[in-house]
Each structure stands twice: as structure tokens, then as C-alpha cells.
Structure 1
């Protein structure tokens, strides 16, 4: 089966890239071992995060580093046996999080963040998925007045980015979210982001839109990727598929394809969990609620109240560990009356992260026709459609809407 382009990966990043390429009149085939939206795209907090103009940096303060070293915090946890394997990567992350490098990363990511909502809006309208998306924004919660004052100062410091937000005291916060207990001091309501009540369903809806447009989605193993002349081949359950161009969008699994080709990219995994809880007496949060100190989010989902955790550093294939989820749940219950868990076991996902806080988007320098689109860290759902537009611009030779140089894989050579 011959196509113009193969997209390896059926998560939000791959499906979005396929839709953007299809919009340029290319014949596109998506290849994945699993169904669309069943990987990491399935298990996030549902944020299309227009307000995250500053990348998530490594903590620099000695006090915070010491607390994390004790490994008892709810927002970041590590497996001690895994720490030596990731220590070098963490050092690079820490080094890239100084003030100068963080400004550089912020400038690089801003053109993508600024377009994230409008690119989703266009796809949501075409796929008729408006029922899944809310325009109520999300709220950062603070549990004490000092933390609230600091958080609101940080919000005001972002005035230059043109963001729409409201500073809330305890009364205003509970007026918006009546289910919250009186243990909250206040918060920041970010109005620009949109939120999704079922991220997996959103990706499946985008995939269905792609198929209605004539695209193909087949089951196959991206590790079978080979090249003969100027043509790339992948083996699938439906036979061999081939194309002149291939987009690698496998998130945390991308290394299984690029490493055998000789590329060395410092891609690491931040693991994260979610579990759904029943909403007691119909009291559902009206928008996602982020406990800043706890590092978790309570998000209203079609399946119930989804509690998503912060970061766990452990071997990507290691079994799930409930420690971090239990810590977050214990704190969350002091803020909101969660009902009983709906699932017996938590969901575990793997966020593909790079130490300079920017994804890899662009051509593979030593393999014509191979394109990279991975490393979106915490913002795969947010950035999938906009990075899909950028990769489609590059594949087709169109003028890109922003300079792609900051995302080039050559920065790691």
C-alpha cells in the first residue's frame, strides 16, 4: 500500500500531524500497535494549556531540592534504584532550568503555546466534538495565605503575555467551585485554556475525522521501519505500507525507532498516574483544579472526577506504584469530598521529556524523508495540533508559521 506519508504513532501528536498533512492533499497512513488515543494521550488532566507560557523547570532552590531528595513529597517521587540511571539527565534538566536558559526555552515555546487553542478549535469544529470541550478554564488552588500571595504575584508577573486570569480569595473561589471545602485560601483562575472531558475520546474523534477524509489507520510495528532508496517501508497486519516521507510521533517509544538509525536524543520519561472517583451527591468540579503544592489535578471527566498525579521517576516499564497516588488522594480529600474510586487499579502513563523543555520537531539530518515530532513532555494534548501544523509545513516545503530551529534534533549533536 503506497502513500505520500506514513505517521508512526496514533496518539494526539501523531493523529494531529496526520490531519494537518491530509489537509495539504497528501495521502497519509497512521501506523500504531494500538488503537488511537489509547497511550499517554488517554490519561492526562484534559488541559489545552494556553496559560503555560513558562515551561516546567527543574527546581533551583536548595530547600525544595532537599525536600525532594527526602522522597516524601506528593508532586515528585523517584525510585531510589532508578536514580543512578537518570542522574545525568536530571543534571542536564537542572542546568537548562537556570534563568537564562529558561528564558530561551520560554521564547522557543511561546509561538506554539499561543496557537494551541485555535488549532484545537479548528479540529474540534470539523470533527463536531464540541460536547467534549469546555471554555471555563482551570484553577490553581493554594492552601495557605503565603503560598496564595506568592502564586498571585507570579500570575501578575505574566501580564506581558496577554493572559486572561482572575485572582480569587477564598470566598470567590468557593463561589466558582461550591464543592471545595473551607481549607483553601484562594487561587488563580486561568481563563484562556480550554479543557477536555475525555481526552481519549477527543483523540478517537480526531482519528475518525482523519478516516472520513480518506486516511488509513493500520496496526503495525514501527520498529520494522526500513528504507530502500528514497522509499520507507513498515510492516503491518494488512501488509507492507510505504511512502517517501515518515513522521515519527511515538512519544516515549520514539527511541525504539531513532536509536537503531544512529540518533542519540536525551529523551526521558516522567511517569504519571490517574484514577477516577465518584462525585458525591452530584457535586462535580466545574473545571480542573490544580493543588499547586500537591502537584495533582482534580478534573471533571465523563468517567468521574479524575485525579492525575505529578511526576514519578522510575523505569518506564516498571509496574505501577500507588504511593504517589495515595499521597495525592489523602491531600485531595481535605479539599474536596471525593467518592469511592471507580477503577480497581490506576492508569499509568509515560510523558516523553527532553532536558531543555522543548520538543523535537523537524527533519532527521542523516535520513531524507524521516521527520521527528516527539518530546512534548506535559503538553502533548496542548501542542499536538500546533506541532502537527509545523511538521506539515516542513514536510511539504511550505513557509513555517514560526522558526523551527529551536526544535531541531541537531541541537543535541
Structure 2
């Protein structure tokens, strides 16, 4: 039976949700304050990470925690004034990263990740977006032999356990494969399963075009105006108030603005990140992570994209791109960056849940309301996969993966 459904948020997750529901015959209105793919989905590294079967856990070694607190290294930065507000979620994040609980999370997480390529492949073909996609993987590179040997052994073990394809490259093999690099690196793990995208925001836009071509409605509006309306939900848009039987909150880091006033206490926090493009005279053939310095270099349509690690700060705090400034210096040791393309760096936020699993399913106390957010670093990767899952739940079908690990009810009524 066809339903009227509002989808709030036009990033990768929201666009894929709207498209999946429209393809099932529902009347769908997709609402965002901006055009599709202009927020978090625009600014990522552009990798559909089939190898990402293990979500980022909180370090369990106190030496690693102390290193972050002392602001040593460039993979993590934090605002001291933000820590008090973040502490409850971070404490639970640390708790959920304990070995037994983390093993359970990996099982749940990998169950979704294994479908990311097939679900994207269907949409890429529908959108005619093959020109944006490369299927050659990416490189996790190392400057020191100790770190390389440790992580290479771990990568091979993960690959065997999860049926992944990785190749270990010596320093000489890496130099031969990537002649744009200068200096010597110890080696790299070549993750061969993932696909890379030359413009992540454009891929989202092409998926959104498929949604509109299928009869879906795209409307500018403020998702935070969502209110109950009779037996359904209503939101204010540029075209006036829109009401539907069902509403899906797919707002990523902005989701708490709606869920908290409704009484839900989901332990979601943000990790901010920066990027900038550079007119590099020569770019690496594949995206390359400088593992020990917390930066990734990705060849894109706009130039060489330099992305940073995680910044723990209030979501709307002013930018503090200290990681990017350091990353520029480290990247310049590997290749000639060239002039920046943008006047100022881009800043975005990743929506992270303390137990490292996305929130996908019905709101426990509000009929017709559905949650679909909290994908952390993998919203771009998982958008089509979790959109299919949510659409099956809305239609009352048996989901193609076990939905219980992602149920919002795991955090209480």
C-alpha cells in the first residue's frame, strides 16, 4: 500500500532513502535547506569502503589516549571547551569499544558493509554515473617500517576473515606504482575491493536526479520545523506546509535537533573534518592515506583533495583548521601540492553513535516516525545499503539483513 512519506535530509543517506521509497511506489517529499549532496556527503574522501568492516573504535591503550590529550600527532584534534558536553557520549564510546562488545559491533557492521558495492552499483547504473567511479581501490601508506609491518599483518588477517582483497606493497613497489610521490615510504596496503568517486557531491546529485525522474518531489525547507500533525507529520517548506503519514529523519549530525525535543537520548556526537583542493601538477593514481600523519590525498575532478582526521568540537563552533595546516606540510613532503583551489577550507561533520552502529528503524514512541542517521565515517559508503533496509522495514518486509543491531530501541523507549 502506497504511503505518503517525508524524508528530511538530502545527503547520501537521505537521497538514497527517498529514491528507495519512491521506487517502491510511495509518494515521497525530500526536504533540505540546500541542494542535494552539499553538506557531509560533499566533503568526504569519495571512497565506497568495502574493506571498512571494522568501525573506528575508541583507543583502549592509555598511551594512545594520553597522546591525543597532549595533542601529539595530527589524526585527532579537540576543543577543550567542548569536552564536558562530549564526555557522556565519549565515555560510552570507550565502553562500547571493549573487545567483547566491539566484536559484536564488527559482526553487525560488516553485515551491512558487504552489500555496499552491489547497492551502489545498481544506483550508479541507473544514474549513468560510471564516469565518476574507479574500481581500483586505495592505498594505506606508511612512513615507518614498524607501523607498516604491524598494520600489513593485521590487514592480511582482516582480509582472510572477511573475504577481502588486499595487496601488500613494499616501498619500492609503492614508488613504482605512484611515480608522483617523492621521498621514500616504507610501504602500503592496497585495498583493492573499494571503489573511488571523483566527485562525491555530484554522485549524490545524480542519485537525486534519478529520484526526481521517478516522480519524487524535492523541496527546500527547514527540517527542524517537523511537528506531529493529526495522525502524521508536517514540515515547513518553501512551497508551504507539507504533511505526510510518515517522516524519516536522515539529517546526519543535525538529527539531535529533532530527536532530543521528542525525548530521545541517542548518544550521538560529531567528529568534524576539513578538506581543501589543490592544483597539484601531478596527482597520485589512487587515493592515498598517510596513516601516521592523519591525512588522505584523493585525486578529484576539482584537483587534489586533502582531507584531515577527526576534530572533536561543538558542531557549530567556528573553524579551527590546524589539522589541515599540518596536513599541508606533511603532504608537501610527499608531492607538490600546488595552489589551493578554494579561498577557504571546507568544514563538515560526521554523525557518530557511541556504539559505532547507525540508527535505522522506527522511533520507539512516535508512530510514523523513522530514524536513519549515525553512519559516522561511512554514510557515503552505506547510504544505499541502509536505505534498502529502512525501506523494507517501512513496508513491513523481512529485511535483507538483521535489523536488530541498528534498532533505535536499543537506547531505550
TM superposition score normalised by structure 1: 0.97
Deviations 1:276-326 (A, max 9, x none): 11122xx12111101111121100000000001000011111111121111
Q: Which residue pairs with 1:30 in the alignment?
A: 30
Deviations 1:360-400 (A, max 9, x none): 00000111111000000000100000000000000011110
Q: Which residue pairs with 1:307 in the alignment?
A: 306
Q: Distance in 2 between matches of 1:319 and 1:272?
A: 12
Structure 2 alignment gaps of length 5 or more: none
Q: Which residue pairs with 2:142 in the alignment?
A: 142
**Residue correspondence of structure 1 range 259-338 to structure 2 within 5 A:** 259-280=260-281, 283-338=282-337
Q: Which residue pairs with 1:380 in the alignment?
A: 379
Deviations 1:244-295 (A, max 9, x none): 1111100000111111111111110100000111122xx1211110111112
TM superposition score normalised by structure 2: 0.97
Deviations 1:302-360 (A, max 9, x none): 00000010000111111111211111111111122211211121000010001110010
Q: Which residue pairs with 1:164 in the alignment?
A: 165
Q: Which residue pairs with 1:252 in the alignment?
A: 253
TM-superposed CA distance for 1:168, in Å, is: 0.3
Q: Distance in 2 between matches of 1:91 and 1:365?
A: 24
**Residue correspondence of structure 1 range 108-187 to structure 2 within 5 A:** 108-158=108-158, 159-187=160-188
Task: Tell me the SS of whatever aligns to 1:73.
Answer: coil
Q: Distance in 1 between matches of 2:233 and 2:162?
A: 42
Q: Distance in 2 between matches of 1:412 and 1:166?
A: 40
Q: Which residue pairs with 1:344 in the alignment?
A: 343
Aligned residues: 410
TM-superposed CA distance for 1:3, in Å, is: 6.5
Q: Distance in 2 between matches of 1:116 and 1:132?
A: 17
Task: Tell me the SS of whatever aligns to 1:106.
Answer: helix
TM-superposed CA distance for 1:62, in Å, is: 2.2
- Asked whether the equivalents of residues 138 and 192 of structure 2 are also in contact (C-alpha less than 8 Å), the reply is yes
Task: Tell me the SS of whatever aligns to 1:246.
Answer: strand
Q: Distance in 2 between matches of 1:286 and 1:339?
A: 17
Larger deviation, residues 322-331 vs 120-129: 322-331
Q: Distance in 2 between matches of 1:82 and 1:274?
A: 22
Deviations 1:61-114 (A, max 9, x none): 122112111113210000112122212221111111111111011011111100
**Residue correspondence of structure 1 range 346-365 to structure 2 within 5 A:** 346-365=345-364
Q: Distance in 2 between matches of 1:76 and 1:260?
A: 31
Larger deviation, residues 364-373 vs 66-75: 66-75
Q: Distance in 1 between matches of 2:184 and 2:338?
A: 18
Q: Distance in 1 between matches of 2:381 and 2:229?
A: 36
Q: Distance in 2 between matches of 1:21 and 1:111?
A: 22
Structure 1 alignment gaps of length 5 or more: none
TM-superposed CA distance for 1:189, in Å, is: 0.2
Residue 218 in 1 paired to residue 219 in 2? yes
Q: Which residue pairs with 1:241 in the alignment?
A: 242
Larger deviation, residues 232-241 vs 300-309: 232-241
Query: RMSD over aligned Cα, in angstroms?
Result: 1.2
**Residue correspondence of structure 1 range 4-15 to structure 2 within 5 A:** 4-15=4-15
Q: Which residue pairs with 1:58 in the alignment?
A: 58
Larger deviation, residues 268-277 vs 176-185: 176-185
TM-superposed CA distance for 1:7, in Å, is: 0.4
Task: Tell me the SS of whatever aligns to 2:149.
Answer: helix
Q: Distance in 2 between matches of 1:48 and 1:144?
A: 27
After superposition, the Cα gap between the structure-2 partners of 1:219 and 1:231, relative to the gap in structure 1 and judged at 3 Å, is same
Larger deviation, residues 384-393 vs 71-80: 71-80
- Asked whether the equivalents of residues 227 and 233 of structure 2 are also in contact (C-alpha less than 8 Å), the reply is yes
4+ residue runs over 4 A deviation: none
